[in-house]
Structure 1
Amino acid sequence: MAENSAEPTNRDIMILLQNVSGRLEVMEKKMGAIESIEKRMGALEKDINKLRCRTLKLWVAIDERVQKVDQRVTRLEDKVDGADIHAAQLSERMQELEKERDTLRDNVSYLQSQTMRNNLIFTGVVEDNTTGNEQPEITERKLRQHLQDAFKIARDVVDSIKFERVHRSPGSPTPGKVRNIVAKFTFFKERELVRKLWKQLDGSVYRVFEQFPQEVIEKRRKLVPQMKEARRLGKRAYLAYDTLYINGTAVRA
């Protein structure tokens, strides 16, 4: 403005207008920047909304998947619980069947042993195989002679003993080996008469045994060491069928 006049000059007005114009330009630039920021914020909001939608959909999908998995796990747990119950029932049934099997085996062994009740097995009696298998009548004749010679039984007693069958152990004759003689006595008391004379065979190559089913033989074999040890300790021990008795106490294999 002029120093000596109250009225602005054109120059003052131009300067003022320039100042205003400069300030407007600055304002316009700021407004442009704000618009740019608003646009960017709008785009960002759209992206955020899209992400929110996608996240929501993803959470819904995950939730559905989790629910399906939970349902499947529940079904599997039910099946496992059912399987455990079934397995327990099967295990119990298996134990019952095993007991029944063992009982049946014992019964079969007992019935077999009853059929062998009157049998004795004689070892070491020379076998004649010059004409093939030794004939039963020859085997019986040899056995009767063996009872006189080895068991020291009188001839008339030997002649009175009755046999249902006398034969060699099953199998083909083998050179250099002697098959045992299996004798089925008609009367049990006569079998016992012969069996109780087993001590007469001490010091000889001959032996006499009761005949038992294979299952009973296996049990007796397992019990023999215990019987020998008990006798070594001075205890009264003996085998009866498939049971060991030590001082009156039964011991089973």
Structure 2
Amino acid sequence: MAAAPIMPATFQPNSQSSMVSGPVNSTYCTMPQSQSQSLSSHQYQPYPNIQPGFQLTPSQSMSGINTSPPPWAQELSAKMDCIFKQLEKLDAIENSISLIQTEVKQLGERVRDVEVSQQFINTILEEDKSDIKDVKSDLSILRKSFDYMQVANNKLSEEIIDLQSRSMRDNLLFFNIAENEGENCTEVIKKVCVDNLDYQEPLEIDRAHRIGKLSAGKQRPIVVKFRCYPQPDAVKKSSRKLKNTNFSIGEQFPKIVQERRKTLLPVFKEAMERGKKTALVRDKLYINGVLYTGPEGSQPA
């Protein structure tokens, strides 16, 4: 079977130039109009010496035909390339804008969630502020109540101490008296008062006994309760006669008063050494007639 002939390029002339298209790699060709007319009569004739299945190359093109694109085609092609590049950039920009819009939408939703949360927190804070205000008011009332109760408690404590001190007003303590098993403390005290104090009046003693825990080599003091107040005061005044002996006599006080007196005794002795007039009455020290109120308090120089 004979090979089908290869059709030549088809020319469509115009007033300036003709454009060739066909199986020759779609190459644009420009030629004079005279040549275009001469070729139009042979537009359906096969080219000689062209084997089937081959395409024309620029070297095989017809003699005298300009195979390069015209300037306007080149310019158009360049503009099209530029347009395509711009379109690609626009596509990329459109994609970016779409992504930004999505992110902005998500961000807006997050902002709305944050605003709702903030509004909820503000509501809680306002409630907490109201609660704190109520708590502060209650705390202020409690503080006032505590201060009042503390003052009342101190006052009550002082009253109890005063009552205890008054109940012990008729009591005297006798120290460093030999302790014997089965002794009668009342008789022992009467003998000490007669022998060491030269107290000849009959003693009216309600009761007498030793206080404290029994300890080897230690003499426990004897507490004596007299029936009437003037007698213990008289016995106490006579205790000056025990100055050169091991015996001593003192008043009985509640424990807290004893602790206060211990802190006041050094000041009492120092004031006496300076020749000041001193008086230790229960748990209060007077120096030159002025109440001693501590190192920072007012006291005579």
Kindly tell me the number of residue pairs found equivalent between the two proteins: 236
Give the Cα–Cα distance (whole angstroms) in 1 for the partners of residues 128 and 249 of structure 2. 65
Give the Cα–Cα distance (whole angstroms) in 1 for the partners of residues 98 and 32 of structure 2. 50
Higher RCO by CA contacts (8 Å cutoff, separation 6 or greater): 1
What amino acid maps onto 1:38 in structure 2? L
Alignment of 1:111-126 (within 5 A): 111-126=163-178
Instruction: Go from structure 1 to structure 2 and tell me whether the alpha carbon gap of 1:29 and 1:111 turns closer, same or farther (over 3 Å shift).
Output: same
* 1:180 and 2:180 are equivalent in the alignment: no
Give the Cα–Cα distance (whole angstroms) in 2 for the partners of residues 228 and 175 of structure 1. 32
Instruction: Go from structure 1 to structure 2 and tell me whether the alpha carbon gap of 1:180 and 1:66 turns closer, same or farther (over 3 Å shift).
Output: same
- Among the aligned pairs, what percent are the same residue? 21
Q: Which sits farther off after the overlay, 161-170 or 21-30? A: 21-30
Cα deviation, residue 182, structure 1: 1.0
Cα deviation, residue 181, structure 1: 1.3
What amino acid maps onto 2:105 in structure 1? C
Instruction: Give deviations 1:194-233, integer Å, cap 9, x for gaps.
Output: 0111110101100000111111111111111121122222
Give the Cα–Cα distance (whole angstroms) in 2 for the partners of residues 244 and 9 of structure 1. 138
Instruction: Give deviations 1:13-52, integer Å, cap 9, x for gaps.
Output: 6869733333332232223223222222221221121122
* 1:149 and 2:195 are equivalent in the alignment: yes
Instruction: Go from structure 1 to structure 2 and tell me whether the alpha carbon gap of 1:226 and 1:75 turns closer, same or farther (over 3 Å shift).
Output: same
Q: What secondary structure, in the 3-state scheme, does the structure 2 residue paired with 1:46 have?
A: helix
Q: 1:196 aligns with which of 226, 233, 237?
A: 237
Contact persistence 1:242–1:252 (CA under 8 A): no
- Name the structure 2 match of 1:232: 273
Instruction: Go from structure 1 to structure 2 and tell me whether the alpha carbon gap of 1:176 and 1:21 turns closer, same or farther (over 3 Å shift).
Output: closer
Cα deviation, residue 86, structure 1: 3.0
* 1:241 and 2:287 are equivalent in the alignment: no
* 1:33 and 2:85 are equivalent in the alignment: yes
Cα deviation, residue 123, structure 1: 0.9
* 1:82 and 2:134 are equivalent in the alignment: yes
Instruction: Give deviations 1:94-138, integer Å, cap 9, x for gaps.
Output: 222222222121111111112111111111222111xxxx35xx2
Cα deviation, residue 237, structure 1: 0.6
Instruction: Go from structure 1 to structure 2 and tell me whether the alpha carbon gap of 1:76 and 1:9 turns closer, same or farther (over 3 Å shift).
Output: closer
Give the Cα–Cα distance (whole angstroms) in 2 for the partners of residues 41 and 175 of structure 1. 107
Give the Cα–Cα distance (whole angstroms) in 2 for the partners of residues 119 and 98 of structure 1. 31
Q: Which sits farther off after the overlay, 191-200 or 54-63? A: 54-63
Contact persistence 1:223–1:252 (CA under 8 A): no
Give the Cα–Cα distance (whole angstroms) in 2 for the partners of residues 163 and 115 of structure 1. 15
Instruction: Give deviations 1:158-196, integer Å, cap 9, x for gaps.
Output: xx221111112243x433222211111111111111011
Alignment of 1:156-175 (within 5 A): 157=201, 160-171=202-213, 173-175=214-216
Higher Cα Rg: structure 1 or 2? 2
- Name the structure 2 match of 1:24: 76
What amino acid maps onto 2:134 in structure 1? G
What amino acid maps onto 2:111 in structure 1? W
Give the Cα–Cα distance (whole angstroms) in 1 for the partners of residues 293 and 73 of structure 2. 122
Q: Which sits farther off after the overlay, 211-220 or 25-34? A: 25-34
Give the Cα–Cα distance (whole angstroms) in 2 for the partners of residues 78 and 61 of structure 1. 26
- Name the structure 2 match of 1:3: none
* 1:72 and 2:124 are equivalent in the alignment: yes
Give the Cα–Cα distance (whole angstroms) in 1 for the partners of residues 160 and 147 of structure 2. 20
What amino acid maps onto 2:78 in structure 1? V
5+ residue gaps in structure 2? 1-14, 19-30, 34-64, 295-301
- Name the structure 2 match of 1:4: none
- Name the structure 2 match of 1:52: 104
What amino acid maps onto 1:46 in structure 2? S
Give the Cα–Cα distance (whole angstroms) in 2 for the partners of residues 9 and 74 of structure 1. 88
